[in-house]
Structure 1
């Protein structure tokens, strides 16, 4: 494949679904143009690595060794499912947390339900306001299922007005986190939770 028109979009959709369902990361090798197209379908948070052509084979070997070592180190780490329809926010949270926790990202409530049917996690960071199926609806679904009712949920919200906060708190989540939270404060909040 030398240009973006050579990309098999069906394959990318399949890889995205498999990476979400099986909690696996994808490694891609492509041109700059192809990378732009690929990441419109397959979020960067689902990528273990990407190699832009032309590339040096030694760089690939080093990256794969680093990835393998990182996988070994994070196998004992706590796992967090992040659910948010804002892909840019998912990427940022993934970048902030991936060195400390096993992070899984999905961009809709239904993807979260599908993922949780096949996988387990120690905590869910759930966007409160999402289209189609809201965070509140996802939370109620999780609470109604024996397999997921005990998974702690922290709501993510971009609004800090009294009505939104009281709506969130009425559901009795583990916690609510404003999306404006900084990197260090989020790490401290999660470290406190897992302590």
Structure 2
């Protein structure tokens, strides 16, 4: 297992150096990031396990930067600090967005155990196919994500614009997209994807609640991988996606 983590905090701090030393003794490869927003933005690409050493060197701007990264990219964040540090942190980064917190004084071995578990889960998740689900309907998002989450790694975007922003920083194996979204429709997002070289080859399946002849003809003309009815039972949706991935695996051989 790759035991690499990013540590966000004042690299000159004695306590940060002590944490790094303790984690390295537990077999971790620790990359100290620094606590300035620019340093954080450059270091955190997505997919990492990050440990935040929250002290006075981490100001509101740095916390807001980390929050925005969490909202936009797939990272697991842990935090070390005093109660007063967490009282500054949680209004900016809600506790629910943080995997775990360690109040000082703390056991480095305990931190190491929690980080190792997170890395193991991350490694297992990376073997799953990644699906981006795009829909403006939160109820639909939640229902389809729940249907697929056990078998696939599912990300969600509630608009076409958010989907494009997510895909600019993250790779996926399939996009499931609502065809009838307001503002920017599924068809418009599809055309945007196909015009962008880095996204042009991402497979897209449309989700639709309509099956009239006019809608079907428009869908077919776009040449997505498939179009699927939102009304289909969950098990039928899973079967369609599983069948697609199996066919791609067969084609690759």
Runs of 5+ in structure 1 lacking a partner?
1-10, 28-41, 50-63
Paired with 2:126 and 2:169, the residues of 1 have a C-alpha distance of: 18
1:145, distance to aligned residue in structure 2 (A): 0.8
1:95, distance to aligned residue in structure 2 (A): 0.9
1:114-133 correspondence to structure 2 within 5 Å: 114-133=165-184
Aligned length: 161
Runs of 5+ in structure 2 lacking a partner?
1-62, 79-93, 100-114, 247-253
1:176-187 correspondence to structure 2 within 5 Å: 176-187=227-238
Paired with 1:114 and 1:79, the residues of 2 have a C-alpha distance of: 16
User: What is the alpha-carbon root mean square deviation over aligned residues?
Assistant: 3.3
1:28-43 correspondence to structure 2 within 5 Å: none
In structure 2, the residue matched to 1:144 is: 195
Paired with 1:66 and 1:161, the residues of 2 have a C-alpha distance of: 49
4+ runs deviating over 6 angstroms:
64-68
Paired with 1:65 and 1:98, the residues of 2 have a C-alpha distance of: 22
* 1:18 equivalent in alignment to 2:38: no
Change (3 A) 1:83 1:19: farther
Deviations 1:84-110 (A, max 9, x none): 000111111111111111111000000
Change (3 A) 1:102 1:148: same
In structure 2, the residue matched to 1:173 is: 224
Q: 2:140 aligns with which of 77, 89, 94?
A: 89
1:71, distance to aligned residue in structure 2 (A): 3.4
Say if 1:84 and 1:106, in contact at 8 Å, map to a contact too: yes
Q: 2:154 aligns with which of 90, 103, 108?
A: 103
Paired with 1:114 and 1:108, the residues of 2 have a C-alpha distance of: 10
Deviations 1:161-188 (A, max 9, x none): 1111111111010100000121111111
Structure number with bigger Rg: 2
* 1:193 equivalent in alignment to 2:193: no
Say if 1:79 and 1:122, in contact at 8 Å, map to a contact too: yes
TM-score by length of 2: 0.55
